[in-house]
């Protein structure tokens, strides 16, 4: 008790602040307009990240002993997350209609944010699990915010997978914790590979994180949830929240455990497959949803190879993806052709950046990632530029055709500014951080070979986009493999099958039989009652008893 | 020897009474049978008590008590029989009556 | 010793006074005699508790000439239990047997018969003389038969006659045994008999006496007289008949098998007795389950509950008497006798209240009665707890002791009987309970005085208390217990 | 004083029970004062005792009945854990019940039995010998019956009958087991484990099975659980108490006592009976959840959820590894807090909005936010989400299962988590996301109903959040395991 | 010679008993039973038990016979259903024979007779007749209870009355023809019976007789007087009747309690006052027994036979 905490309280403050902001809607008077404070929620985290994520905190009494410390790469992750959340919050504050539902949205927004930040600060598995659960489950509310049938259905799918992921995660963490006899993430990670059932634990972890990270084939929720969620929700989901799964993989998978290969293979499949599948979509948000699947696939490949560029790549991806999703919202809000054009230009630039077109930030991210990879993967990474360009190009095409619901001009400006900020950051920030993230010199990205490697896939991709536009790809429902699953609602009604009736019938029969036997036993005394018989038994019994008594022995 | 004769008579009376008790449904006759059993037992006791050099008075006292008690029981039983007959017209217990 | 005399004489004197005095004096005289006797019963128990068994040589004559009376712990406990029951019955009868309710005949006859019955019971409890026991039993039986017949219906008369026949046959069988014992040994005193030189006729004597007493105790298959008799008597009378009367003949059995002729107890005979008891438990339970009248349910429950007491024979009798578990088994059976007495009397008094309230004891007519008569419903529930053998009641203590001994003796089937019987009891008592506690009342309810309602409640509470404070009765029962073995269990 | 305190604690609910029976129907103030007063006194005594016990004091009071039949009241850490729970929740439930019933009929009877029920639970917790445990166990059965039947309508009575039909054979089995055991070992006190060498392993297994049947009925182990869903006909405070504190907990508590204080963990392991029990508990966990999924009444669903959740405790006890034991013990408290919250809320929905069915919950979140938040917290705790209480127990159980070499426990936990989510999340989904029906009513203008729910929900959150602190239930459970069952 | 006589007597007894059991018709059976009682009394006399013989004749044969005859008469007038005819019952016969054989066997298995030593104690009671000594001293408690048993039976019989009849006089109305045999008998018998009965009580102390025998004779007198209409049947509520019923056991009991109050044991009669005290008790008992038996025989209050 003497030391309720040890260390610096700053990490805790970073997490608690969003929670406090989240309490604003609890006050009924503030509830309707609570969304307005959302941009404030991530600010301490941003500052914390800019300060280099200093400090470590140990709270022995809380939970099972909470340990907060920045995970490796946390600065970048935190910065990205905070930025995306800030801008998305800004967007939300401007667009969401005031009212009680907005209040709920605001509350859970903050909770999700806290969880999202928490996964980068957790030092022990329980805290990590808590943060992970918060980010997974609270995001449910972000998905279903619109309460349309589509949103609710998407929410159902989302929560199902999220819960499955949580369960898997729990198994993995428990196996790890039991093996390590310690709750610190580092110990658990070390213990996992040798633990009895460690492989099962790792598999469970891969599944759990994979679901969150949109790893093929567990990515199902992404393409369904994104179109259904409100724009800021989609932005944080694909920009920041998916990174929670990624950081999990980074934190928990021990080196050389064999699971790396699995990640690489699945990552490649996702990286290319998802991008191509995105072409079957018409809704730009759905198309865009396949992009993070593909990008996360590439990130998983990086995780699998143990590359140091994961955080750097994720930074760019998060910012860019956030900008793109917000762009959709901005476009919808656009009132004039001019505005639309502006949005499309910005989106296009960001898209090219994601595809790795030098000298945008995306190219740097890719270059940093390629450093030290085997040649095959380098090629794959380069090739992924084609698919990325393809899918994002297709996205832009679809985006351009999107119907608008114009918003007032000043509002649009705000929205556009937010989008612009993120886009700019996506383009510029990698340059700023290049020296930190990579051992390579600052001019390395500008080398011609690298420039070329950046350019040709994009050009090829643009060609393909043209091809696709000419021959429209088939239009499919979002959620690809979902179609393979049997249609099943989550609400299971009371069972009223034939079995129940049968059982009831049988019970009734037994009950009748028992009742009849009982009624018959009512007459059981009658044979004993007449005196001649009873007396006979009595006197004969007396003699018999006497004989029994007198029996020798 | 005489005592044995009386004792055997007593035993036989008991047997006879038991037969009557079990075989006769008419309640007054059943009461008679009870009395037969009782007096048979007393006869047996009396004979046993007379075996010693002097006649034992204790059994006689017991027997007198027993006879009085038997009378009391018989009186109540007879009263019950009469009351039952008056109430329901039966001189046997219902479950031993003629099947209707 | 004075207390013992008062316990014996006062009920009889009270009965004589009630007969002799004018009708209007009957109730006060009977009640004051009851109160005084009950008081001296407590005094007697206290003196037994402090000074051991109280012995009285009637007329100053020692056996074999005279009759010895002895109040040991068991007798004292039974006397106290009877005093409590009779006291409660008298209170209830004050209301229930009033001339206005029961008619002048029953109102006149009930009080002396109750007191005579009580006197006979007390006489039987303490008597050490086999023939004196016979006379006591006859007095008991005649008073009991008269109480059955008191309601005067044809049904009651049939029941009384059937009871009479069984009782007389039982008496004669018992008398036959007494005759053989005297013929063989020249004495009737239990104490002297235990020191006798064995004779070949003893087995026959014991067999005859036992069979006779079984008929009077209504052990299966000789129980057929009991339910109609107890169900057709007025409720206070039923309470006496069910709670007390079978205990007297059972006590004589105990005296015979444990004190007078313990060496004759062959295993086969002991097992047969307990086997019949076990059948009685099940048989009575099942039949109680299918009855539709409260009094019949309670009466069949008596059949079942009496069965438990017979489990004492193989557990504490014969060779088992020297075993460490004998004390537990013996005391358990006696606890059963005590707690059953209290609880069963409470139940019959409840039945009486129900009849007074709605004029019927059919379960269908009792529906919802607990709303109007909550104390009565509660009393029934409390009594039911004892009969089911649920803690912390006296019935539980009894069952616990018997079960423990059954296991210790390796005779676990008896434990099965105890457990199964408890469940059956729960089942058959549930029906009246559920009927009482439903919401929908069928018949209009006549008001019943609260004091009357309190009587069964007090009895039932006593039955529960017997379990809660069972240490003192346990020790009391050990006083003068035959062969006080090592108290291991 | 050391003998008096346990007795006083017992009396603090026994006396209100006794007096309440005789109060007139309309003396509401007196009755409420009496019941609340008793609850407060008891709470105070227990808090005092908590500090004293932490300081090393020990309390014991005994009343010999017959030889071998000793009523022994004794305070140990386990007893304290259980009794603190029951005292706290009794207090809250009393407030809730007073508000719930208002001025309805036959309240004296209700509160009388209500207090008696708590007295029985208290006695059960304090029992220091097997036989006193049994006595209070039975008293509990008997005092709950009138509570279940309280409405006296057909469903209630039939529920009450079903309850007895399960409970009484169960107690017969328990008594059988106790006597079988004690006939060989003499009276069993929880302080010193009995010498089991007098019995052969077969007999011991039989005794163990009988014990489990006996307490398993109360703990609602499948297939002995049928009474619990049926009992949902009872009024909400009864369900709340029954499920969270009294009956099922008594059963679970009994399992713990049997395994650790009667047989001893090592003997259980040696006899090989722990694993079958753990499997039975697991089957119960899964089966209860599956059945819960099929219910469309809120209370029924909660009831089956209880069936499932209580077996966590049994599972923890049966696994017999320290961590599992901690998980099981702490779940005793945690489940209590969470489940009572949910029952409180279910009662509020019923009482204030007339909502009984799951389908009627649509949109209640906005109308009754406090209630719904509490309900959601309870549900999420049940699913096992951190930082709610349920997570802590589940985590320890999982670790314990691995420690005990029973990794399949993880599978059970996962299945349970998923199923819990499957049957609780739709409720939350309806509460928060679906629009309310047009004729829906519902308000929260009954603070005495809502406040207890908020308190328990907060507690459920708090005990999870502060689990690692030494005064938390987890701290206590760890202490118990370390002090009493440690090597 | 005496053996032959005994054999003949016993044969006769058995034959008559057989007649009572298997004889056709209840009336015949009752007559056989009365005869049986008388023969048995002779048997008792043969055994040297004169008190028993007297008791058997008076109570066993006499009063029981009257009881049964009266009952039979009433049943006949009530037009009841006839009892079903029964044939021989082999099972019952087997049982009866088995019990008889068992008793017979027991007789031969009896050990040498032992008896309590009365002779030494008898002088302390002041009684010459050991039977009376046993009855009123050694086993006084039995005798007290026995007298109360009669009372209990009487109460039982009274309880069989119908409620409407409760205040009516006891028993049926007997209409003896004035000048008929019964009437003259009724006038003639009482004085003789009274003196005989009193003698029996008086003699009981030292010779044959006693309270029960004497009381029975007196009861017979009372009965005849009532049947003859000489003595009006009493009602239940009559104080005199009820006082007479309880005076015997009452005095007996009070004497016992008085002894306790005086510091002696229950029912103790010190040798000094034994004889007079016994006499007082006997007289009181006789009164009660006489009245009780008589009232027992005439039955409960009954206004008229019901018409079915």
Domain limits, chain E: 1-78, 123-308
Alpha-carbon distance of A479 to A221, in angstroms, equals 7
Residues of chain C neighbouring A539 (CB-CB closer than 8 A): 169, 173, 211
Domain ranges of chain A: 7-256, 258-480
Looking up tokens 């002799």 gives: C20
- Residue B84 within any structural domain of the chain: yes
CA distance A537 to chain C (A): 8
Chain A's closest residue to E91, CA to CA, is: A536
Cβ pair B75:E157 closer than 8 A: yes
Instruction: Give the nearest partner residue to A528 out of C204, C208, C221, using CB atoms.
Output: C221
Q: Pseudo-torsion of CA E122, E211, E247, C143, nearest 10°?
A: 100
Rounded to an integer, the average pLDDT of D31-58 is: 86
Chains D and B touch (3+ CB pairs under 8 A): no
Cβ pair A492:D293 closer than 8 A: yes
Task: Count other Cβ atoms within 10 Å, centred on residue C270.
Answer: 23
Alpha-carbon distance of C131 to B58, in angstroms, equals 11
Rounded to an integer, the average pLDDT of E194-202 is: 84
Which stretch, A414-428, A522-536, C185-199, E91-105, has highest mean pLDDT?
E91-105
D475 reaches A (C-beta below 8 A): no
pLDDT tens, residue by residue, C438-482? 877 777 888 899 999 999 999 999 999 998 888 889 999 998 887
Q: Which pLDDT value is given to residue A148?
A: 84
B93 reaches E (C-beta below 8 A): no
Alpha-carbon distance of D41 to D64, in angstroms, equals 27
Crossing angle for the helix pair A259-269 and A284-305, nearest 10 degrees?
150
CA distance D375 to chain C (A): 33
Chain B's closest residue to A526, CA to CA, is: B95
Cβ pair D157:C438 closer than 8 A: yes
Rounded to an integer, the average pLDDT of D30-47 is: 90
Instruction: Give the nearest partner residue to B65 out of E37, E103, E146, using CB atoms.
Output: E146
Residue from E103, E138, E271 to probe the interface with C (highest C Cβ count within 10 Å): E138
CA distance A522 to chain B (A): 16
E57 neighbors E285 (Cβ within 8 angstroms)? no
Q: List strands edge to edge, sheet with A66-69.
A: A6-7, A56-59, A66-69
Rounded to an integer, the average pLDDT of D192-198 is: 82
Alpha-carbon distance of E121 to E134, in angstroms, equals 10
Mention every residue, 6+ apart, whose C-beta is less than 8 A from residue C221.
A528, A534, A537, C276, C279
Chains B and A touch (3+ CB pairs under 8 A): yes
C155 reaches B (C-beta below 8 A): no
pLDDT tens, residue by residue, D431-440? 888 888 777 7
CA distance E184 to chain C (A): 34
- Residue B66 within any structural domain of the chain: yes
Residues of chain B neighbouring C174 (CB-CB closer than 8 A): none
A541 reaches B (C-beta below 8 A): no
Chains E and D touch (3+ CB pairs under 8 A): no
Range of the domain at B9: 2-93
C467 neighbors C394 (Cβ within 8 angstroms)? yes
Size of interface A-D (CB pairs under 8 A): 115
- Residue B98 within any structural domain of the chain: no
Three-state DSSP at E306 gives coil
D309 reaches A (C-beta below 8 A): no
Mention every residue, 6+ apart, whose C-beta is less than 8 A from residue E43.
B6, B9, B43, E6, E9, E10, E13, E53
E238 reaches A (C-beta below 8 A): no
Alpha carbon distances (Å) from D109 to C378, D16, D24? 10, 12, 10
- E1 pLDDT more than 60: no
Cβ pair D157:C434 closer than 8 A: yes
Q: Which pLDDT value is given to residue D454?
A: 93
pLDDT tens, residue by residue, D331-349? 999 999 999 999 999 989 9
Alpha-carbon distance of A234 to A243, in angstroms, equals 14
* H-type alpha helices, E23-139: 26-46, 50-55, 64-77, 90-109, 118-125, 130-133
C168 reaches B (C-beta below 8 A): yes
Q: Pseudo-torsion of CA C225, C231, C233, C236, nearest 10°?
A: 120
Confidence bin at D486 (pLDDT 50/70/90): low
- CA nearest neighbour of C215 among C173, C277, C154: C173
In angstroms, the first-to-last Cα distance of chain B is: 53
pTM over 0.90, yes/no: no
Instruction: Give the nearest partner residue to D433 out of A64, A144, A492, using CB atoms.
Output: A144
Chain B's closest residue to A537, CA to CA, is: B22
Rounded to an integer, the average pLDDT of E80-97 is: 86
Size of interface B-C (CB pairs under 8 A): 76
Phi and psi angles of residue E149, each rounded to the nearest 5 degrees, phi first? -60, -45
CA distance A428 to chain D (A): 38
Alpha-carbon distance of D330 to A469, in angstroms, equals 62
Taking only the tens of pLDDT, chain B with its 100 residues reads 788 999 999 999 999 999 999 998 899 999 999 999 999 999 999 999 888 877 788 999 999 999 999 999 999 999 999 999 988 888 888 888 765 4
Longest pairwise C-alpha distance within chain C: 67
D108 neighbors D232 (Cβ within 8 angstroms)? no
Task: Count other Cβ atoms within 10 Å, centred on residue B40.
Answer: 31
pLDDT tens, residue by residue, D377-400? 999 999 888 888 889 899 999 988
- C485 pLDDT more than 70: no
DSSP H or E run through A69: strand A66-69
* H-type alpha helices, chain B: 2-23, 27-49, 57-88
Bridging pattern class, strands C54-57 and A66-69 = unpaired
B80 reaches A (C-beta below 8 A): no
Phi and psi angles of residue D77, each rounded to the nearest 5 degrees, phi first? -60, -40
Mention every residue, 6+ apart, whose C-beta is less than 8 A from residue C439.
C368, C371, D151, D152, D153
Mention every residue, 6+ apart, whose C-beta is less than 8 A from residue C32.
none
C273 neighbors C313 (Cβ within 8 angstroms)? yes
ipTM: 0.90
- Which carries the bigger pLDDT value, residue A470 or residue C330? C330
Alpha-carbon distance of C15 to D429, in angstroms, equals 80
Q: Which pLDDT value is given to residue C487?
A: 44
Encoded tokens for C202: 């003893």
**DSSP secondary structure code for residue C486 in this structure:** -
Looking up tokens 């009556």 gives: B97
A138 neighbors A163 (Cβ within 8 angstroms)? no
A124 DSSP β-pair partners: A184
E111 neighbors C197 (Cβ within 8 angstroms)? yes
Q: Which pLDDT value is given to residue A284?
A: 80
CA distance B34 to chain A (A): 12
Considering only C423-437, D240-254, E103-117, which range has the smallest mean pLDDT?
A: D240-254
How confident is the prediction for chain D on average, in pLDDT? 87
* Full 3-state SS string of A463-504: HHHHHHHHCCCCCCCCCHHHHHCCCCCCCCCCCCCHHHHHHH
C204 reaches B (C-beta below 8 A): no
Residue ranges, chain A, pLDDT below 70: 1-3, 256-257, 477-504, 552-553
D54 reaches A (C-beta below 8 A): no
Confidence bin at C486 (pLDDT 50/70/90): very low
Residue from E104, E119, E165, E245 to probe the interface with B (highest B Cβ count within 10 Å): E104
Alpha-carbon distance of E13 to E40, in angstroms, equals 7
Cβ pair C391:D138 closer than 8 A: yes
Q: Which pLDDT value is given to residue E306?
A: 44
Confidence bin at D240 (pLDDT 50/70/90): confident
- C350 pLDDT more than 60: yes
Cβ pair C470:D164 closer than 8 A: no
Residue from E109, E131, E155, E161 to probe the interface with C (highest C Cβ count within 10 Å): E155
- CA nearest neighbour of C398 among C340, C332, C468, C306: C332
- Which carries the bigger pLDDT value, residue E44 or residue D58? E44
Encoded tokens for E214: 């004497």
Task: Count other Cβ atoms within 10 Å, centred on residue C32.
Answer: 13
Q: Which pLDDT value is given to residue A489?
A: 42
C131 reaches B (C-beta below 8 A): yes
Alpha carbon distances (Å) from A395 to A174, A257, D225? 42, 38, 57
Residue from C290, C427, C430 to probe the interface with A (highest A Cβ count within 10 Å): C290
State what percent of residues in chain C have pLDDT above 70: 98
- C67 pLDDT more than 90: yes
Residue B50 sits in a domain of what CATH number?
1.10.287.3510
Alpha-carbon distance of C346 to C458, in angstroms, equals 8
């Amino acid at each position: 008790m003497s030391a309720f905490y040890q260390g610096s309280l700053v990490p805790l403050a970073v997490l608690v602040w969003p929670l406090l902001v989240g309490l604003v809607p609890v006050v009924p008077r503030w509830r309707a307009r609570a969304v307005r404070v959302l941009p404030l929620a991530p600010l301490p985290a941003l500052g914390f990240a800019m300060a280099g994520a200093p400090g470590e905190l140990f709270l022995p009494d809380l939970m099972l002993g909470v340990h907060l410390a920045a995970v490796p790469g946390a600065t970048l992750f935190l910065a990205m997350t905070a930025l995306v959340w800030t801008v998305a919050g800004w967007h939300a504050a401007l667009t969401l209609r005031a009212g009680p539902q907005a209040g709920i949205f605001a509350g859970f927004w903050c909770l999700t944010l806290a969880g999202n930040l928490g996964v980068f600060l957790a030092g022990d598995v329980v805290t990590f699990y808590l943060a992970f659960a918060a980010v997974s489950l609270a995001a449910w509310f972000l998905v279903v915010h619109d309460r349309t049938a589509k949103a609710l259905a998407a929410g159902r799918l989302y929560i199902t997978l999220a819960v499955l992921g949580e369960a898997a995660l729990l198994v993995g963490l428990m196996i790890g914790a039991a093996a390590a006899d310690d709750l610190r993430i580092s110990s658990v990670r070390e213990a996992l590979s040798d633990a009895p059932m460690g492989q099962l634990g790792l598999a469970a972890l891969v599944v759990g994180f994979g679901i969150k990270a949109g790893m093929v084939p567990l990515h199902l929720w992404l393409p369904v949830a994104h179109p259904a969620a409100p724009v800021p929700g989609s932005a944080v989901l694909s920009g920041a929240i998916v990174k929670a799964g990624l950081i999990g993989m980074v934190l928990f998978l021990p080196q050389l455990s064999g699971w790396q290969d699995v990640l690489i293979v699945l990552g490649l499949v996702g990286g290319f497959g998802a991008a191509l599948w995105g072409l079957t979509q018409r809704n730009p948000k759905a198309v865009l949803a396949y992009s993070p699947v593909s990008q996360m696939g590439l990130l998983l490949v990086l995780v699998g190879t143990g590359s140091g560029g994961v955080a750097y790549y994720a930074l760019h991806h998060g910012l860019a993806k956030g900008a793109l999703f917000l762009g959709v919202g901005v476009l919808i809000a656009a009132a004039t052709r001019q505005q639309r054009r502006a949005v499309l230009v910005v989106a296009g630039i960001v898209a090219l950046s994601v595809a790795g077109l030098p000298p945008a930030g995306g190219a740097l991210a890719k270059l940093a990632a390629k450093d030290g990879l085997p040649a095959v993967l380098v090629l794959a990474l380069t090739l992924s530029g084609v698919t990325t360009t393809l899918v994002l190009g297709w996205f832009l095409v679809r985006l351009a055709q999107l119907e608008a619901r114009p918003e007032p001009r000043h509002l649009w400006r705000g929205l556009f500014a937010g989008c612009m900020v993120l886009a700019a950051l996506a383009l510029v920030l990698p340059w700023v951080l290049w020296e930190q993230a990579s051992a390579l010199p600052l001019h390395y990205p500008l080398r011609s070979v690298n420039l070329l490697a950046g350019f040709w896939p994009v050009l090829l991709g643009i060609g393909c986009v043209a091809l696709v536009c000419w021959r429209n790809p088939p239009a499919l429902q979002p959620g690809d493999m979902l179609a393979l699953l049997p249609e099943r609602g989550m609400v299971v009604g009371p069972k009223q099958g034939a079995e129940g009736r049968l059982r009831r019938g049988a019970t009734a029969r037994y009950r009748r039989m028992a009742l009849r036997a009982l009624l018959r036993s009512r007459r059981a005394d009658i044979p004993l009652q007449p005196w001649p018989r009873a007396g006979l038994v009595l006197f004969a019994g007396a003699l018999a008893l006497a004989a029994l008594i007198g029996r020798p022995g | 020897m005489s005592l044995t004769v009386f004792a055997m008579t007593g035993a036989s009376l008991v047997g006879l009474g038991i037969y009557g008790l079990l075989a006769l449904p008419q309640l007054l006759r059943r009461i008679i049978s009870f009395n037969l059993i009782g007096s048979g037992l007393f006869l047996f006791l009396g004979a046993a008590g007379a075996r010693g050099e002097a006649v034992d008075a204790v059994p006689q006292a017991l027997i007198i008590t027993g006879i009085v008690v038997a009378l009391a029981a018989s009186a109540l039983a007879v009263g019950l029989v009469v009351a039952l007959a008056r109430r329901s017209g039966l001189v046997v217990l219902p479950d031993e009556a003629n099947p209707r | 010793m004075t207390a013992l005399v008062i316990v014996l004489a006062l009920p009889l004197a009270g009965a004589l006074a009630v007969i002799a005095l004018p009708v209007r004096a009957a109730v006060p005289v009977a009640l004051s005699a009851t109160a005084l006797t009950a008081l001296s019963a407590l005094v007697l128990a206290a003196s037994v508790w402090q000074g051991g068994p109280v012995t009285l040589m009637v007329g100053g004559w020692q056996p074999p000439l005279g009759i010895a009376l002895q109040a040991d712990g068991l007798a004292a406990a039974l006397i106290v239990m009877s005093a409590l029951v009779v006291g409660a019955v008298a209170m209830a009868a004050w209301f229930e047997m009033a001339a206005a309710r029961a008619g002048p005949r029953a109102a006149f006859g009930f009080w002396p018969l109750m007191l005579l019955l009580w006197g006979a019971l007390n006489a039987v409890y303490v008597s050490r003389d086999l023939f004196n026991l016979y006379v006591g039993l006859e007095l008991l039986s005649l008073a009991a038969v008269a109480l059955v017949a008191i309601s005067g219906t044809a049904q009651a008369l049939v029941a009384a006659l059937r009871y009479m026949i069984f009782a007389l046959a039982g008496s004669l069988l018992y008398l036959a045994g007494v005759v053989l014992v005297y013929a063989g040994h020249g004495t009737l005193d239990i104490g002297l008999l235990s020191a006798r030189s064995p004779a070949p006729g003893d087995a026959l004597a014991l067999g005859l006496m036992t069979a006779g007493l079984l008929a009077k105790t209504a052990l299966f298959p000789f129980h057929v007289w009991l339910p109609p008799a107890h169900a057709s008597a007025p409720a206070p009378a039923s309470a006496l008949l069910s709670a007390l009367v079978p205990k007297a003949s059972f006590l004589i059995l105990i005296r015979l098998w444990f004190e007078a002729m313990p060496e004759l107890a062959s295993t086969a005979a002991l097992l047969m007795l307990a086997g019949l008891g076990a059948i009685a438990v099940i048989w009575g339970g099942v039949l109680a389950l299918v009855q539709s009248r409260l009094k019949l349910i309670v009466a069949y429950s008596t059949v079942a509950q009496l069965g438990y007491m017979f489990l004492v024979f193989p557990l504490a009798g014969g060779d088992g008497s020297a075993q460490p578990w004998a004390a537990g088994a013996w005391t358990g059976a006696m606890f059963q006798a005590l707690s059953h007495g209290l609880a069963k009397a409470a139940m019959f008094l409840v039945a009486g209240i129900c009849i007074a309230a709605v004029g019927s004891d059919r379960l269908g007519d009792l529906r919802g009665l607990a709303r109007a008569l909550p104390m009565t419903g509660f009393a029934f529930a409390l009594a039911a707890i004892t009969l089911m053998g649920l803690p912390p009641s006296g019935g539980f203590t009894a069952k616990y002791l018997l079960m423990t001994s059954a296991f210790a003796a390796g005779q676990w089937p008896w434990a099965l009987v105890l457990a199964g019987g408890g469940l059956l009891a729960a089942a058959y008592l549930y029906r009246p309970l559920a009927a009482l506690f439903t919401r929908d009342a069928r018949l209009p309810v006549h008001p019943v005085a609260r004091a009357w309602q309190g009587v069964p409640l007090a009895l039932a509470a006593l039955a529960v208390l017997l379990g809660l404070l069972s240490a003192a009765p346990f020790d009391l029962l050990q006083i003068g217990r035959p062969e006080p073995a090592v108290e291991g269990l | 004083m050391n003998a008096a305190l346990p007795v006083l604690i017992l009396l603090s609910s026994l006396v209100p029970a006794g007096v309440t029976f005789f109060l007139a129907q309309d003396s509401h103030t007196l009755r409420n004062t009496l019941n609340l007063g008793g609850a407060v006194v008891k709470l105070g005594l227990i808090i005092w005792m908590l500090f004293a016990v932490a300081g090393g004091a020990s309390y014991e009071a005994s009343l010999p009945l017959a030889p071998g039949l000793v009523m022994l009241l004794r305070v140990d850490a386990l007893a304290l854990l259980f009794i603190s729970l029951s005292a706290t929740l009794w207090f809250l439930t009393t407030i809730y019940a007073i508000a719930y019933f208002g001025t309805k009929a036959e309240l004296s009877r209700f509160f009388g039995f209500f207090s008696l029920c708590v007295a029985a639970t208290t006695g059960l917790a304090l029992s220091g010998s097997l036989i006193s445990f049994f006595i209070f166990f039975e008293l509990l059965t008997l005092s709950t019956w009138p509570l279940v039947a309280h409405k006296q309508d057909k469903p209630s009575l039939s529920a009450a009958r079903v309850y007895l039909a399960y409970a009484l054979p169960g107690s017969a089995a328990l008594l059988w087991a106790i006597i079988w055991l004690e006939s060989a070992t003499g009276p069993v006190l929880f302080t010193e484990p009995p010498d089991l060498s007098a019995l052969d392993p077969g007999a011991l297994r039989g005794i163990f099975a009988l014990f489990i049947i006996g307490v398993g009925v109360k703990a609602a182990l499948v297939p002995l659980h049928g009474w619990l869903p049926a009992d949902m006909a009872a009024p909400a405070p009864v369900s709340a108490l029954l499920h969270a504190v009294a009956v099922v907990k008594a059963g679970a508590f009994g399992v713990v006592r049997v395994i650790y204080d009667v047989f001893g963990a090592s003997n259980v392991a040696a006899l090989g009976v722990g694993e079958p029990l753990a499997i039975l508990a697991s089957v119960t966990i899964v089966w209860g959840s599956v059945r819960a999924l099929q219910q469309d009444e809120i209370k029924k669903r909660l009831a089956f959820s209880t069936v499932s959740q209580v077996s966590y405790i049994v599972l923890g006890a049966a696994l017999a590894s320290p961590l599992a034991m901690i998980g099981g013990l702490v779940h005793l408290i945690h489940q209590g807090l969470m489940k009572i919250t949910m029952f409180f809320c279910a009662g509020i929905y019923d009482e204030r909005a007339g909502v009984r069915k799951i389908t009627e919950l649509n949109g209640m979140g906005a109308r009754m936010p406090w209630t719904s938040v509490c309900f959601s917290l309870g549900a999420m705790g049940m699913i096992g989400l951190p930082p709610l209480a349920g997570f802590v127990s589940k985590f320890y159980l999982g670790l314990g299962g691995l420690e005990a070499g029973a990794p399949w426990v993880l599978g059970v936990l996962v299945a349970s988590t998923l199923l819990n989510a499957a049957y609780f999340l739709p409720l939350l989904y309806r509460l928060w996301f679906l629009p309310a029906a047009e004729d829906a009513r519902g308000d929260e203008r009954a603070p005495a109903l809502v406040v207890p729910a908020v308190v328990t929900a907060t507690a459920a959150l708090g005990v999870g959040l502060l689990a690692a602190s030494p005064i938390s239930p987890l701290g206590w459970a760890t202490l118990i395991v370390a002090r009493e069952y440690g090597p | 010679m005496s053996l032959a006589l005994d054999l003949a007597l016993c044969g006769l007894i058995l034959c008559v008993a057989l007649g009572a059991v298997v004889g056709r018709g209840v009336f015949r059976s009752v007559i056989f039973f009365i005869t049986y009682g008388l023969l048995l009394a002779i048997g008792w006399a043969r055994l040297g038990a004169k008190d028993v013989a007297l008791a058997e004749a008076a109570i066993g044969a006499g009063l029981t016979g009257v009881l049964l005859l009266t009952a039979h008469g009433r049943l006949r007038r009530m037009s009841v259903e006839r009892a079903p005819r029964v044939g021989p019952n082999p099972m019952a016969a087997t049982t009866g024979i088995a019990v008889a054989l068992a008793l017979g066997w027991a007789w031969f298995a009896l050990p040498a007779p032992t008896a309590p030593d009365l002779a030494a104690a008898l002088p302390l009671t002041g009684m010459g007749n050991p039977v009376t000594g046993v009855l009123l001293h050694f086993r006084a408690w039995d005798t007290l209870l026995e007298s109360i048993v009669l009372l209990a039976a009487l109460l039982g019989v009274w309880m069989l009355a119908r409620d409407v009849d409760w205040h009516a006089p006891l028993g049926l109305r007997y209409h003896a023809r004035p000048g008929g045999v019964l009437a003259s008998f009724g006038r003639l018998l009482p004085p003789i019976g009274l003196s005989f009965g009193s003698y029996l009580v008086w003699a009981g102390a030292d010779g044959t007789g006693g309270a029960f025998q004497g009381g029975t004779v007196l009861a017979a007198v009372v009965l005849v007087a009532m049947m003859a209409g000489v003595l009006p049947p009493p009602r239940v509520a009559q104080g005199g009747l009820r006082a007479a019923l309880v005076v015997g056991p009452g005095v007996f009991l009070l004497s016992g309690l008085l002894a306790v109050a005086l510091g002696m044991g229950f029912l103790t009669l010190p040798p000094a006052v034994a004889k007079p005290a016994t006499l007082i008790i006997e007289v009181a008992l006789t009164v009660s027994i006489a009245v009780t038996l008589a009232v027992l025989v005439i039955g409960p209050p009954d206004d008229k036979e019901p018409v079915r």
